Amino acid sequence: MKVFVIGAHGQIGKKIVSKLVAQGDRVFAGIRQPDQAQAFEDAGAEAVQFNLMAQPHELAAAFKGMDAIVFAAGSGGQTGYDMTLMIDLDGAVKSMEAAKLAGVKRYVIISAEFTPDRARWPRALQPYYVAKYYADEWLKTRTELAYTILQPGSLVNDAGTGKVTVNPDAGGEITRDDVATFAVATLKTPATIGKTIALINGETPIKAAVQA
């Protein structure tokens, strides 16, 4: 399977790349800085210069021939909300348009817990949630992509547990490693197409949880 990972250099992106490589997929790691390339090449992925500030037809060139795209990019806490608008919202939507232009159908995005319900957005993160919300909504209603929207709880850096609870009633934490494992499993699980899946760490092995 040929998978393009947008935001490959991010904390979750890196883990998705290495897990895909480990299971024998051909991985194209979208990176912004040329000096990020070598580490991906060394790890068995193919590094591709990729900048979400570009227009959809430019992004599409990088997607040609892919079987799936994973959007794991995030403007991050170190940039301003201008980049939240440009990357988390418009960058995401441009990558969806680019997927269509390139003829790629499968599209998985890493979103966030509670994104669909404005009343539950954490107060300090509301502007970020606005961006994620409208990107998710665009994917669901304005594209015909075979999408999966993953909405993990509070991200932590502990070791992966391999176990989750999907669509929990309350919030919770989840390791970035388990989010990456779940995202990789999603790509191999057609039952996840068209679904929005909230996930926190829990008791169900990911292999089973991804089928639910």
Active site residues: 128
| Token reading at 167 | 């669509």
For the chain, percent helix, then strand, then coil, each to nearest 5?
A: 45, 25, 35
User: Crossing angle for the helix pair 126-142 and 92-102, nearest 10 degrees?
Assistant: 20
Residue 110 touching its own copies (CB under 8 A)? no
Residue 86 touching its own copies (CB under 8 A)? yes
> What span, in angstroms and rounded, lies between the C-alpha atoms of 30 and 9?
8
Contact string (CB under 8 A) for its own copies, positions 144-183, x = contact: ----------------------------------------
Nearer CB in complex with its own copies: 113/178? 113
Neighbouring CB atoms inside 10 A of 59's CB total 26
Rounded to the nearest whole angstrom, what is the least distance from the CB of residue 174 to its own copies in the complex? 25
**Spatial CA neighbour of 50 closest among 32, 36, 38:** 32
Using the contact rule CB under 8 A, the part of the chain among 11-19, 21-29, 88-96, 179-187 near its own copies is: 88-96
Using the contact rule CB under 8 A, the part of the chain among 36-44, 105-113, 135-143, 174-182 near its own copies is: 135-143
Nearer CB in complex with its own copies: 37/83? 83
Residue 120 touching its own copies (CB under 8 A)? no
Residue 119 touching its own copies (CB under 8 A)? yes
Task: Candidates 90, 101, 143, 202: give the one binding its own copies (CB under 8 A).
Answer: 90
One-letter identity of residue 37: A
> What span, in angstroms and rounded, lies between the C-alpha atoms of 59 and 91?
10
> What span, in angstroms and rounded, lies between the C-alpha atoms of 73 and 58?
17
CB distance 114 to 171 below 8 Å? yes
Residue 99 touching its own copies (CB under 8 A)? no
Residue count, binding to its own copies (CB under 8 A): 23
Nearer CB in complex with its own copies: 67/137? 137
Residue 137 touching its own copies (CB under 8 A)? yes
3-state SS string for 14-82: HHHHHHHHHCCCEEEEEECCHHHHHHHHHCCCEEEECCCCCCHHHHHHHHCCCCEEEECCCCCCCCCHH
Residue 58 touching its own copies (CB under 8 A)? no
- Residues forming contacts to its own copies in the complex (CB under 8 A) are 55, 80-86, 89-90, 94, 118-119, 126-127, 130-131, 133-134, 137-138, 141-142
